[in-house]
Amino acid sequence: VDANNGMLEGFFGFTWFFGSTDKDGDGIPDKLDRCPGQAEDFDGFQDEDGCPDPDNDGDGIADALDRCPDVAEDLDGYQDDDGCPDPDNDGDGIADVNDGCPNDAEDVDGFQDDDGCPDPDNDGDGVPDLSDACPNTPAGVEVDERGCPVVKEITEALVLKGVRFVKGSDQLTLDSQSILDDVAKSLLAYPDVVIEIQGHTDSSGSAVFNERLSLRRAESVRDYLVTRGVDIQRMRAVGYGERFPIASNGSDEGRAQNRRVEIHRIYSN
């Protein structure tokens, strides 16, 4: 018996001398284990060092509660408790870093869609787009309960402010079209009214050139109104050139006022 005990003691002593200890029992020898008193958690994250990692991504949310334990929560105030980052909080396709309203989805209606903010009233007329029959009415135009410009009868000379042309030509600018659309609605609402469309210029250039240019511009306005359903027989286009200024041609401001298109009611049928 004494001999056997001696053999066992010698065996365990041999094992201890040549083998390795593993105090925390995680399978990583203490001499290789950075945390020999704490077992590695073996969750696929830095498992070779022998240290448990209760919060792999270091976002302050324990892995046991973290739906995305290897990707840090962005902690932007939106669903931060789940441990997952949300690069596009509102899901509108615009990353939060580029989104002016990261928690409110862009309405993607063709109006300022790049900023990430919804625009419930594009034209700012007080009528929400969902109820607005004319969601792109120009600023400052009086609208009815449907959000459309109030149709008024043409009773006197009307200077079409905002109707502009490409410099030196009779080509209407795009922003002029919405103004002429309102004129067309008024003419269609009062089908008995006959008008004269007058083109006027400043004094730059020759009088002959200005008269021809003013006529072409008046005709461009007339032709646009025709495309909106107004009978051409109700409109007469006239070019007066520089003959009837309403301001001094001695300043840029005055010349800008003189370059204009006016509508005059001639009579009612």
Q: Which residues contact 72 (CB under 8 A, 6 or more apart)?
A: 57, 58, 59, 85
d(CA 123, CA 133) in angstroms, rounded, equals 11
Query: For the CA atoms of the chain, what is the radius of gyration?
Result: 40
The residue ranking higher by pLDDT, 195 or 158, is: 195
Domain extents in the chain: 2-49, 158-268
Measured from the Cβ of residue 222, the count of other Cβ atoms closer than 10 Å reads 22
∠ CA 223-246-159, nearest 5°, is: 35
Strand-pairing partners, residue 223, are none
**Measured torsion, CA atoms of residues 68, 72, 74, 79, in degrees rounded to the nearest 10:** 30
Pairwise CA distance, residues 57 & 65, whole Å: 12
What mean pLDDT, rounded, does the chain reach?
Answer: 83
Residue-wise burial string across 99-136, b where 16 or more C-beta atoms lie within 10 A, e elsewhere: bebbeebbbeeeeebeebbbbebbbebebebeebebbe
Structural tokens at position 4: 């056997």
pLDDT of residue 13 exceeding 60: no
Provide the H-helix boundaries in 151-246: 174-189, 207-227
Query: What's the longest Cα–Cα distance across the chain?
Result: 137
The string of pLDDT tens digits covering residues 207-224 is 999 999 999 999 999 999
Are 193 and 268 spatial neighbours (Cβ–Cβ below 8 Å)? Answer: yes
**What digits encode the pLDDT tens for the residues 160-195?**
888 888 888 999 988 888 889 988 988 888 888 899
Angle at which helix 207-227 crosses helix 174-189, to 10 degrees, equals 60
DSSP-assigned states of every residue in 70-114: TS----SSSSGGGS---TTTT-SSS-GGG-SSTTS----SSSSGG
Torsion of CA 14, 17, 23, 26, to 10 degrees: -80
pLDDT confidence bin for 11, thresholds 50/70/90: very low
Q: Of 9-18, 31-40, 114-123, which range is least confident?
A: 9-18
CA-closest candidate to residue 64, choices 73, 50, 54? 54
d(CA 199, CA 101): 46
Q: Hey, which CATH number is domain 158-268, 3.20.20.100, 3.30.1330.60, 3.30.310.50, 3.40.50.300?
A: 3.30.1330.60
Put simply, whether the predicted model's pTM sits higher than 0.75 gets the answer no
> Is residue 3 scored above 70 in pLDDT?
no
What pLDDT, on the 0 to 100 scale, is given for residue 235? 95
Strand 235-239 versus strand 193-200 pairing type: parallel
